[in-house]
Each structure stands twice: as C-alpha cells, then as structure tokens.
Amino acid sequence: MRAVLVFAVLAVLVFGIVRSNSDPGSVLGNETALNWTLRALGSLLAVTSAFAILVRGLASESLERQFGFVLPLLAGMLLVNNHWSLALSLGAVGVALIVKEIAARRQEGQAADAPPPQ
C-alpha cells in the first residue's frame, strides 16, 4: 500500500510541475502535463520491472518467479506508448494467469476428493 501511495504522490508531483509551466487556460498544457506524467511513471514502472526480471534471472530463479514482473512491465510500457500490441499482450498474459489459477484450484479440488492411496 505504501508503494501505491508513493506512486500516486509522484504522479501528482510530475503532473503539477509540468502543468505549472503552462498557461492555466490552455487545453494543450493539460494534455502535455498528462502525457509527460504517463510517460515518466510508465518508464519508471517498466524499468523497475525489467530490472527485477533481470535480477531474478541472474539469480537462476524459476520462470514462475520471474513471470510475476511481466504484467507490471507490460503495463508500464502501455503507459509510455499506447499501442494495440501492448494492450493485447497485457490481456493475454492476464488471461493466462487467470486460467492457470483456475486450473490449479481445480486440481487441488480433485486431489482432495480422491481417495487416499493404499
């Protein structure tokens, strides 16, 4: 929760700094401030996630542990540049994680219902 709060404060700070340097009635100034904020925070999120994936890879951790940072990486890249391919890959990874969780629960349920081995 603390990280989300820091992220939100950083977003407001970047938006405020960029917005304060433009004309108060300018729509273009608001759009510029929003674009800079999205790019700055998206870059921070993507770089942090990529570094975490690299560190986990160098530590020879399992792919399962490395895969946890793929969603934040794609989300950060989507904030930087909104392109359909990033949105599609983010959705595909999200759906794959949901399907994996459902399959794991189903296997646990079947294992609990099965009679004990004799």
Residue 50: per-residue pLDDT: 92
50's tokens: 């990529």
Cα dist from 43 to 6, 39, 116, whole Å: 15, 6, 52
pLDDT at 117: 66
In total, how many domains does the chain have?
1
Q: Are 39 and 79 in contact (CB under 8 A)?
A: yes
Residue 35 covered by a domain: yes
112: pLDDT strictly greater than 70:
no
In a domain, 118, yes or no: no
Residue 86's domain comprises 2-113
What would the pLDDT profile of 31-72 be if each residue is shown by its tens digit?
A: 888 888 889 889 989 999 999 999 998 988 887 788 888 888
**Helix H or strand E encompassing 6:** helix 2-20
Helix and strand element counts for the chain (H, E): 5, 0
Domain contains 36: yes
In a domain, 47, yes or no: yes
Look at residue 90 and tell me if it is in a domain: yes
In-domain check, residue 66 = yes
Residue 84 lies in a domain: yes
| Tokens linked to 110 | 């079947």
pTM value is 0.70
> For residue range 2-38, what is the model confidence (pLDDT) as tens digits?
777 887 888 888 888 877 776 667 777 778 888 888 8
DSSP secondary structure string, 19-65?
A: HHTS-TT-HHHHHHHHHHHHHHHHHHHHHHHHHHHHHHHHTT--HHH
| The predicted structure's pLDDT at residue 51 | 93
